[in-house]
Amino acid sequence: MAQKVYDTPAAALDGLLFDGMTIAAGGFGLCGIPEQLIIAVGASNVRDLTVISNNAGVDDWGLGLLLQSRQVKKMISSYVGENDEFERQFIAGELEVEFCPQGTLAERLRAGGAGIPGFYTPTGVGTIIAKGKEQRQFDGQTYILERSIVADLSLVKAYQADHAGNLIYRRTARNFNPMIAACGKITVAEVEQIVETGRLNPEHIHTPSIFVNRIVQTVPEKRIEQRTTSDRPKT
């Protein structure tokens, strides 16, 4: 079995990055994002990236860091409302954007990992989403053809991994990570804990090791997108 565990995020990405590549990144908001791997991508100075993710992070964290450094040429996303720099670049015509309904994005990623080149969905029929896409009738309803996504590189965040590369995600941090782990030609997982192979309950594994090429253990920095507090006295 090939050695999958690397000492640092930079080492885990060594030899994988190139200009113009497509990167899929897990997470929802700032929950379950591979934050240290994203920082390592930024430090590599790779350019002209197409990034596929539910969102673009915030201005000073997550994928927002790659937007600030102008390393992203195109974003394929379903929600980007927390990032002022994303908005500025989009309005200025400096960033190409492909908006995708959230469920459709999840299925495009899942289909890519399953080897399915495309699928029909009613989501987006009659809207700008359907422009230029094949349409067909099934049982009297119109559907549009959506292509699956296969990324050059997938970056995911997991709670636990074993040395073989089996992954367990923690609660809502699972979000888009399983689909993104499967859709990459190469997948690198950033994890909080690494245990010996055989220690993980097979019934609890979310991503099997066959999808994971490299693993790196990091110390998570958990940030909150919008902190809301109350002045009410504690009772």
Joined together, the tokens standing for residue 9 give 């995020």
Is residue 12 predicted with pLDDT exceeding 70? yes
Fold exhibited by the domain 5-119+148-217: Glutaconate Coenzyme A-transferase (3.40.1080)
- What is the pLDDT confidence band of residue 57, given thresholds at 50, 70 and 90? confident
In sequence order, what are the beta bridge partners of 6? 216
Of how many residues is the chain composed? 235
Gap between the Cα atoms of 192 and 18, Å rounded: 27
DSSP label at 204? G
Using CA atoms in the order 98, 101, 104, 108, what is the torsion angle rounded to 10 degrees? 20
pLDDT at 1: 56
H-type alpha helices, 115-229: 177-183
pLDDT at 221: 81
pTM (2 d.p.)? 0.92
Gap between the Cα atoms of 117 and 193, Å rounded: 34
pLDDT at 37: 98
Gap between the Cα atoms of 53 and 64, Å rounded: 12
pLDDT at 222: 78
pLDDT digits (tens, 9 = 90+) for 101-120: 999 999 999 999 999 999 99
H-type alpha helices, the chain: 9-13, 35-44, 64-68, 84-91, 102-114, 177-183
In angstroms, what CA-CA distances link 162 with 74, 159, 210, 212? 34, 11, 12, 11
| Helix, strand, coil percentages in the chain from 3-state DSSP, rounded to 5 | 25, 30, 45
